[in-house]
């Protein structure tokens, strides 16, 4: 269909609601560098970039990255210049617990985040802390990583260290960033770390552990920390909108499967009143598993006890959203994979404005539809947009990013004011150009440019940062 016809024309005269929170984000591996400093041990992205550098488009790594480990004070000044209410960053697990376990707490690592948090607060900026943004200590991967259920306990131990050390000042916690993306690192077809995995099993086994780990952290906070610290905990899910290629049953069903496998598999157990994985996910994997000759589904089933334990364990719905595709069914044959289970062909409309990333087109109406779907399915939870952003090649006059930012924010305001979606905060990805995983430094998402040729990693403001600062100051999108 032509979805452009289905949504009203963008309106530009809505203001942001009172109390609306603006932020921007980074993650530890992508910006910190200092990969071997002050007692930090290796994580799975250190290992991947050094041992399988061919999986990174420019064969680069995060050894130095933006050097934010040393330049955090400068980063905080950029945040101040933007006028954001909060800064979303992640903690490097192997920097504070080099063995992966709580037997050794690395004081230098603890100090680094204390210094960052204190610097933020001294400048009037709230910290929003992601506990896990993909950089698992290698020691824990050596035990199998997320498919090993013992990881749920280790994550709880790690969470305790974070709440104990930082919870007096941190009021927003995100357990996991994009579980559907990093658990795919356990599929044999994956590019992400750890790039190992049992075909068709790895992602589901990891998912099972991650949900339990998340719930353990939430219950730990509830039982021991919430009364004194009064913070909020959620997870940052990610989902791009999928528009049925044609308005026919098959295409609608394919898009629904895409939503349920990539978002529902993680959000449904936490946010739906019945808990558990979505029905279509359970049915599809069981059906394929049987046809493939397995005696049981490749998707672990959650026990009733697990369902009850995981249900309701979030104070807000974190959403990372970037783009939109058209979807229609595609039947994959051959070895069992997550992709085969989803069974969809996703294609952009190549007339949509593009970016430096092959998957990222500028489709603001898809954002509005995605927000509506979440409101509808999960009973309008408070949503914090935990990531949204645009890639180019690092231009300072970044008109593509300005257009993306203003058009996506416009549709978000439409969703709030016209559709009643309960969106309470927005995070622009990213504060600074950084190490973009498999794309190395070839794709830039920053509001500030970073010169990676410069040993000092100089930061330079882009035009989009000025526009974002104006939006935050005026609570209005400029004409
Ligand atoms: C999100 C991640 O998936 O997308 C970020 O949470 C990442 O860490 C961003 O930087 C951009 O994706 P990519 O794959 O182009 O680096």
pLDDT, tens only, 405-422: 999 999 999 999 999 999
Q: Which helix (H) or strand (E) holds 425?
A: strand 423-429
How far, in Å, is the centroid of ligand 1 from the Cα of 274? 31
More confident residue, 10 or 294: 294
The tens digit of pLDDT for each residue in 129-176 reads 999 999 999 999 999 999 999 999 999 999 999 999 999 999 999 999
Q: Are strands 448-450 and 459-461 parallel, antiparallel or unpaired?
A: antiparallel
Tell me, in angstroms, the distance from the centre of ligand 1 to residue 207's CA.
19
Least-confidence region, from 50-54, 61-65, 117-121, 335-339: 335-339
- Per-residue pLDDT of 72-82, as tens digits, reads 999 999 999 99
DSSP string, 38-55: TT---BHHHHHHHH-GGG
pLDDT value for 11: 52
Query: How far apart are alpha carbons 121 and 467 in whole angstroms?
Result: 24
pLDDT range class, residue 3, cuts 50, 70, 90: very low
pLDDT of residue 2: 39
pLDDT score at 198: 72
Share of the chain above pLDDT 70, in %: 97
Residue 320 beta carbon below 6 angstroms from any ligand 1 atom: yes
The beta-strand segments (E) located in 64-208 are 86-90, 126-132, 172-177
pLDDT digits (tens, 9 = 90+) for 167-183: 999 999 999 999 999 99
**364-383, pLDDT tens digit by residue?**
999 999 999 999 999 999 99
Rounded to the nearest 5°, which phi and psi values hold at 450?
-120, 130
Residue 328 pLDDT > 60: yes
For 194, the 3-state DSSP assignment is coil
Point out the ligand 1 atom lying closest to the alpha carbon of residue 443. 15
**2-6, 243-247, 309-313, 325-329 — which is least confidently predicted?**
2-6
In whole angstroms, what is the distance from residue 258 CA to residue 261 CA? Answer: 5
* Residue 93 CB contacts under 8 Å (≥ 6 apart), including other chains: 43, 100, 131, 132, 135, 136, 137, 158
Atom of ligand 1 nearest to the CA of 357: 15
pLDDT of 190: 77
pLDDT at 230: 98
252 lines ligand 1 (CB under 6 A): no
Q: What is the pLDDT of residue 188?
A: 74
CA of 438 to the centre of ligand 1 (A): 9
Distance 436 CA to ligand 1 centre (A): 6
Reported as a pLDDT band with limits 50, 70 and 90, residue 12 is: low
Residue nearest to atom 7 of ligand 1 (CA): 436
Residue nearest to atom 9 of ligand 1 (CA): 436
Taking CA 80 as the corner, what is the angle to CA 371 and CA 421, rounded to the nearest 5 degrees? 15
Lowest mean pLDDT among 76-85, 90-99, 195-204: 195-204
The answer to whether the CB of 191 is under 6 A from ligand 1 is no
How far apart, in Å, are the Cα atoms of 474 and each of 49, 105, 469? 42, 44, 9
Consecutive H or E run containing 164: helix 151-166
Alpha-carbon gap, residue 473 to 82, rounded angstroms: 9
The residue among 295, 302, 251 whose CA lies nearest residue 281 is 302
pTM recorded for the entire structure:
0.96
Q: Is the pLDDT of residue 6 over 70?
A: no
Q: Determine the average pLDDT of the residues in 272-285.
A: 98
Task: Tell me the two tokens of residue 60.
Answer: 């680069």
Judge contact between 82 and 447, C-beta under 8 A: yes
Look at residues 159, 265, 153 and name the one whose alpha carbon lies nearest to residue 204.
265
ipTM given for this complex: 0.89
In this model, does residue 7 exceed pLDDT 50? no
What is the distance between the alpha carbons of residues 71 and 450, in angstroms, rounded to a whole number? 12
Which pLDDT score is estimated for 10?
A: 53
Q: What is the mean pLDDT of the chain?
A: 96
Tell me which residue of 56, 356, 104, 310 sits closest to 208, measured CA to CA. Answer: 310
**Would you say the CB of residue 315 lies under 6 angstroms from ligand 1?**
no
Residue 442 Cβ inside 6 Å of ligand 1? The answer reads no
Please give the structure tokens belonging to residue 132.
């896990």
Could you tell me what percentage of the chain is helix, strand and coil, using 3-state DSSP and rounding each to the nearest 5?
45, 15, 40
Rounded Cα gap, residues 397 and 446, in angstroms? 12
Q: Is the CB of 141 under 6 A from ligand 1?
A: no
Q: CA-to-CA distance for 60 and 45, rounded, in angstroms? A: 11
Exposed, middle or buried by CB within 10 Å (0-12, 13-18, 19+), for 424? Answer: middle
> Quick check: 8 pLDDT over 90?
no
In the chain the first and final C-alpha atoms are separated, in Å, by 30
């Amino acid at each position: 269909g032509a979805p452009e016809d289905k949504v009203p024309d963008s309106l530009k005269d809505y203001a942001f609601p009172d109390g609306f929170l603006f932020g921007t984000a980074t993650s530890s591996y992508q910006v910190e560098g200092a990969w071997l400093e002050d007692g930090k041990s290796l994580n799975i992205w250190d290992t991947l970039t050094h041992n399988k550098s061919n999986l990174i488009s420019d064969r680069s790594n995060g050894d130095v990255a933006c050097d934010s480990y040393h330049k955090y004070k400068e980063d905080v000044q950029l945040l101040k210049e933007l006028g954001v209410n909060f800064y979303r960053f992640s903690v490097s697990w192997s920097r504070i617990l080099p063995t992966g376990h709580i037997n050794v707490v690395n004081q230098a690592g603890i100090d680094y985040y204390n210094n960052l948090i204190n610097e933020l607060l001294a400048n009037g900026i709230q910290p929003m802390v992601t506990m896990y943004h993909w950089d698992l200590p290698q020691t824990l991967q050596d035990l199998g990583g997320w498919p090993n259920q013992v990881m749920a306990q280790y994550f709880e131990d790690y969470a305790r260290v974070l709440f104990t050390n930082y919870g007096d000042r941190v009021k927003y916690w995100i357990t996991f960033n994009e579980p559907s993306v990093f658990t795919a690192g356990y599929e044999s077809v994956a590019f992400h770390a750890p790039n190992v995995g049992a075909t068709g099993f790895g992602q589901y086994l990891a998912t099972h552990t991650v949900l339990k780990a998340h719930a353990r952290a939430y219950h730990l906070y509830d039982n021991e920390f919430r009364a004194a610290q009064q913070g909020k905990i959620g997870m940052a899910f990610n989902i791009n909108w999928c528009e049925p290629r044609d308005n026919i049953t098959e295409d609608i069903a394919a898009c629904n499967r895409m939503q349920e496998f990539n978002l529902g598999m993680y959000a449904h157990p936490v946010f739906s009143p019945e808990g558990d994985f979505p029905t279509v996910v359970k049915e599809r994997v069981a059906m394929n598993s049987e046809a493939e000759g397995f005696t049981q589904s490749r998707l672990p089933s959650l026990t009733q006890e697990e369902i009850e334990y995981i249900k309701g364990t979030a104070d807000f719905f974190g959403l990372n959203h970037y783009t939109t595709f058209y979807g229609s069914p595609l039947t994959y044959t051959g070895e069992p994979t997550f992709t085969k289970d989803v069974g969809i062909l996703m294609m952009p409309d190549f007339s949509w404005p593009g970016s430096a990333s092959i998957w990222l087109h500028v489709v603001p109406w898809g954002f509005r539809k995605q927000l509506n779907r979440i409101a509808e399915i999960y009973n309008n939870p408070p949503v914090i947009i935990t990531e949204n952003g645009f890639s180019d090649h690092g231009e300072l006059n970044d008109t593509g990013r300005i257009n993306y930012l203003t058009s996506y924010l416009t549709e978000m305001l439409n969703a709030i004011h016209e559709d009643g979606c309960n969106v309470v905060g927005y995070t622009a990805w990213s504060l600074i150009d950084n190490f973009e995983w498999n794309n190395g430094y070839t794709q830039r998402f920053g509001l500030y440019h970073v010169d990676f040729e410069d040993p000092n990693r100089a930061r330079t403001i882009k035009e989009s940062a000025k526009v974002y600062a104006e939006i935050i100051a005026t609570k209005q999108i400029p004409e």
